[in-house]
Structure 1
Amino acid sequence: MHHLTSSAEELYNHYHKDIVRFFADHLTDRELAWDLCHEVFLRLLITLASGKQLSHPQGWLMRVAKNLLIDTYRHRQIVATRQLALSDQETAMLATDSRTFKTLLEREDMLQIIIEAFNAIPEKYRLLLFWREIERLPLQEISLQTGTTDSVLSTELWRARKLLQKEYQRLRFRDILHSDEEIFGHLDALLQFNVTAAPEEQLHQLEAHVHDYFEQIAPTWDNYVASAYEADLQERLTRLLPWNRSMTVLDAGTGTGYLASMIAPHVGHVIGVDCSSAMLAQAGVKMAQADYQHVSLHQGLAEQLPLATNSVDVAMCHMLLHHVVSPRTVLSELHRVIRPNGYLVIVDAHAHKHHWTPEAFGDLHYGTHLKKLRKHLSALQIKTLLVEDAGISHSGLSIGTDASFANFLLIGKISERGKRNQRIEEQEICAHGCLSTLSR
C-alpha cells in the first residue's frame, strides 16, 4: 500500500492549499478549515486503497470538499435549532480530526484494516457507504441513484454503518480476541467507535468500568443480593455436589463472598478471587464474623487466576460471565485450575434484552447465552451434567428500574484424561437428580 500513500501525499502537496482556501473562503474558523481539508484527503486515501480509479482527482477532491461544506452548514443549522452537539457520533464513521490523515499515512496497517472491513460487508452497503461517507453525497442524490425513499435509505445507511463498525472492530481486536467473541455483537454499544484508539486501551476502559462499578456498590451489595437473588440456591447446591472436608473450592468473582460463605461449612478450603478490593474487604468482614478461617481471599482477575493448574476440586462463579470481556477466556482458566474429575458450577442470568444493564450494573453482556456457553464447555471437553432454572433476580430495589432476570444453574464435569473417564461419567447422576460421590 506504499504507493497509495505516496500518491495521496503527492495529491496533498499539489492541492491541499486550494482545498484549505476553499473552506477558508466559506468558514471563519481557520482550524475547522484545516480539519475539513485533512478529512478530504483522508477520504481520498481510503478511496485509493479500496481500488477505485479517479480519472480527475482534482475535480473529485473539490466535489468532496463542497459536500463536506454542505454537511457542515447542515450540522450548524441543526445545532442552532435543536441545540445538539456539532459532531454526530452516529454518522462520524471515520474519525474527523486534523491528526487522522497523518496517523493513517504513518500507520498503513490501520488503513489496511479499514479496507478489509469495507470489503467484508455486502456490495450494496459498500456502495452506499462510499457515496455517503466518502464522497458525502446528499441523501437526496443517493435516493435518486438508487430509486429508494429517504426513509428507506436512512435505515439502510444505518445498517451499513453498523456492519462496518463491527467488521472493523473484529479486525482491530484480532490479536487480542477471537473474531466470534460474543462481545462483538454489541461492542459498539459499549465503546465509542474510534478508528485510531488502541484496542488494548479500549478493553482496559471496559474492565475499568466494571471494576469501578463494584468498588462503588460494595457497601450495599449484600443488601441487594439478599433481596434480588434466588433464595433456595444454598439448599440446592449443598445436595447437588458431593461436598466433603477434603475438597478445595474456588469461588471466581467472589464479590462479597456470596457463594463462598454458602459452601464454606461443607468443604476444607475455599479460595475467593475478585478484582475489586472493596468487595473483598466486605467478604473479609463476613468470613471473620462467621469464623471461617479456612476461607482465603485474593485480589485477581478471572482471566488470570492466581492459582496453580489442577489445584481445586470445584470451581464456582456466580453472576460473573456477563461481567467479563471474554467468557471463553474465563472458562478456559477455570478449566485449567480444576483437577480431572472435578466440577464446574455456574450461576448466571439468561440472555435478555434489557440493554440498560451495562450502565446500571457494570455488565458487559446482556446476560449469558446458554447455547453458546455449552458450546464453549464442549470445546473444553467439559461435560454438562445438569442445567436448571435458578430463580429470578429483581432489579427494582437497587436501581429504580423494575425488571426481572431469569437465572440458570449449570454443573459441568472436567473429563479425566485416562481410562476411567467413561466409567465415571456413567455414574454421574443419581435417580433423584443429585450427583453421586465418585468411586475412589
Structure 2
Amino acid sequence: MSVQNNIGCAGSDNVVFCPALFITAPGSNHGKTTITAALARYHVEQGRKVRVFKSGPDFLDPMILERACGLPVHQIDLWMMGESECRRLLYEAAQEADLILIEGVMGLFDGEPCCADIAELFSLPVLAVINAAGTAQTLAAIAYGLANYRPGLPFAGVLANNVASPRHAEMIVQGMPPGLRYFGGIMRDSRFVLPERHLGLVQAEEVSDLEPRISAAAGAIASTELANLPEAVAFALPKQQTPLQLLSGVRIGIARDTAFSFIYAANLDLLRAMGAALVFFSPLADAALPDVDCIYLPGGYPELHLQTLQANAGMKSALQTHFQLGKPVYAECGGMLYLLESLEDKAGNRGEMVGLLPGRAVMQSRLKGLGYQSAPMPGGLLRGHTFHHSLIETPLGAAAFGERLHNTSAGEAIYRLKRLTASYLHCYFASNPAAAAQLFLP
C-alpha cells in the first residue's frame, strides 16, 4: 500500500484516523446498497483498501457489499452488539483501511436506536442517498430536513439517485439551498438495479451478472464528488476482553450454501476466537457430514431448494444419526425449517425434510415475524432478531420464548429436544459469548 493511500494508519496507539462515510436515506428503496457497493468498488479500483459495514441485522446486503470490496462485511448494531463491540470493529478496520463505509438500514431516523445514533456516536459524516424519481427541486427539501432534523448530526451532504436526464439534474441543483452540499447525481440505468425477492436482495452468489452491475455503478461514481475521499474520522480503541477458550478443540460443522447462508461473519470470528475449528458443509451437495462434534444450521432459503434437500437422503440420515448420538445441533430460522418433517412453499410444493422436529412449515405471502428479541438460552440471554415468511405447525411445546425489545407480547418460540436447539431467532454470539459457547459444547 502506498504512503499516499495509507491514511488509516495515522494516529496514536489508542486512536486511529481513517476517512469514513455513513450512507443513509429517507427510507428503504432509495438505492443505499447500490451506491455503497459502487463507492466501495470505485475506491478499490483506485488502489485503496475499503472496509464496509452494514447497520442493522441484515444478511443479504453484506453479501453484495463483500463482493464489491473483496473483504468480509460485518454488522454495526448498537442494540444487538453494544457500543463496545461496534467500536472495536470500527477501530480494527481503521487500522488497516484507507476508507470505511457503513450502509444504513431503512431511513436515517427509523428505529430505536437508529442510524443517526450510530453516526452521531462515532462522529461519522452522513451521506443521504435520495431517489430522485418523481421529484426535482423538492429533493433538496427532503435533504434539508434530514440534515437539520437533529442538531449536531455530522451531515456531509446529499447524492441524488435515479436521475432521469440532464434537465432533471439541473432542476435538482436549482433547489439546493446554501450550506447543503450536493455531491452530484447518479443517472437512471437498468444496469445498476439489483434483483430482489421476498426477504430482500437476491443473494450475491445467485446473481450471475453481479460483477458488471457493480462495475457499471462504480463507473458512475467518477462523475460525482464522491470520487474524492471523505474526511478522516478518529476511531478510538475500546476496552477489550480476550474471549475465553470455551470451545477449544471443538469441531463445529456449519451448513453453508445457497440454501443456508444467513450467518454473521462476527459469529464465525467469535467461534474461532473461542478455540473452535469450523468445518463447512453443504446440505444441498454433500451426502455426508464432516467429522464434527456439533452442527450449526443457519437461516437461508430452504424453500427454494425443496426437491434437492428432499432427495439428499444421505445428508438427512447423517443429521439423524448425529442427533441420535446426543451431539449438539443449533438451528436458526431456515435451518430450523430444514429439521422439520416437511416444508411447503407458497405455490403448494412440498418437500420431505430431516424430521428431527415434529411438524411442518408453510411459506406465507406476507411477513410473519420481524424485530429484535433476546433469546433465553441455557447459558444466558443472547440478543438477535427475527425476520421470516413462514409459519410452523408442531405439537412440540416451546422450551422458552424470545423477549421482544419494543413490546411485551410473546416472542419467537425456542424449541429444545435433547441437544437440539432451534428457533426463528438469528442470534449475535458476541452479545453473550458464554451463552453462545453453551450451544455447541459436546
> Which of the pair has the greater relative contact order for Cα pairs under 8 Å at 6+ separation?
2
| Greater C-alpha radius of gyration | 1
Q: Which has the higher strand share?
A: 2
TM-score normalized by structure 2? 0.22
Q: Which has the higher helix share?
A: 1
TM-score normalized by structure 1? 0.23
